[in-house]
Amino acid sequence: MTSKINAPNPTEELAEAGREFYRRGWTLGTSGNFSMLLARKPLRICVTASGIEKGNLDETNFLELDDDAEILQGFGKPSAETLVHLSIYRFVAKARSILHTHSVWGTILSDVFFEQGGIEIEGYEMLKGLSGVKTHEHTEKVPIVENSQDYIALSHVIENVLRDNEGVHGIYLRRHGLYTWGETVAEARRHVEIFEFLFEVLGRRLK
C-alpha cells in the first residue's frame, strides 16, 4: 500500500512559488524546477514539466512520477534534472519539497568559490531562517558541484555530497543553480529566500 504524505494542493503551492520566483528574477526563461514528495514507499513525486515558463506556471504543468522517473499522471516531459530531485529525496529524510532556482548572485558565487568546494556563510542573522539554525554564529556551507548534462552521473555525485555533508540545506550546481529543500513547500520556499538574500550580500561584498 502506498504510504501517502499529507500534502494539500501541492501543485497550487508550487505554482505560486514559481510565479513569485520568476517575478524576483530567480527562474527566468524556462529555468528552474520544483517538486513535492507524494509518497516514500513506493517513492512518488510531483514535479514541474520541462520547458514551462515559471511566470505562467499553473496546476496543469505538473507530472506525477515514480522512482524511475516514469510518468504516472500528467502531460509533458519531465526534466532530466528529475534524477537530482529523486536523489535528494532518497538521501535527505526530511526533504518533502525541493525547489531549484537560477539567480545571478548565486551563479556568480558558485564560480568564485568552486575551488574552495562550497559557499560558506557565517555571522548573519538571516541564517536563523534555515531550519534548525538557532544562532547567527552558525556557519552554513552550500557545497558546489560541477555542472553536467549527464544527469545519471550527476545524481550519483550529489548522493556522495549529501552523504559527506550531513545537515546542509542546499547544494549549488556550478554556473547553474541552487537546489534547496524543506519539510513543506513553505519551508523550502523560505530557504530559497534566505539563501538568495545571503548570496546577494556576499556578492556585493566581493565588489
Q: What is the 3-state secondary structure (H, E, C) of the chain?
A: CCCECCCCCHHHHHHHHHHHHHHCCCCCCCCCEEEEEEECCCCEEEEEECCCCHHHCCCCCEEEEECCCCEEECCCCECCCHHHHHHHHHHCCCCCEEEEECCHHHHHHHHHCHHHCEEEEECCHHHHHCCCCCCCCCEEEEEEECCCCCHHHHHHHHHHHHHHCCCCCEEEECCCEEEEEECCHHHHHHHHHHHHHHHHHHHHHHC
Give the pLDDT band of residue 52 (cuts 50, 70, 90): confident
Is the predicted pLDDT of residue 187 greater than 80, yes or no? yes
What pTM, to 2 d.p., does this model score?
0.92
- Rounded to an integer, the average pLDDT of 123-137 is 95
CATH of domain 10-206: 3.40.225.10
**Domain chopping of the chain, boundaries:** 10-206
Give the pLDDT band of residue 20 (cuts 50, 70, 90): very high
Backbone angles phi, psi at 42, to 5 degrees: -75, 155
Give the pLDDT band of residue 60 (cuts 50, 70, 90): confident
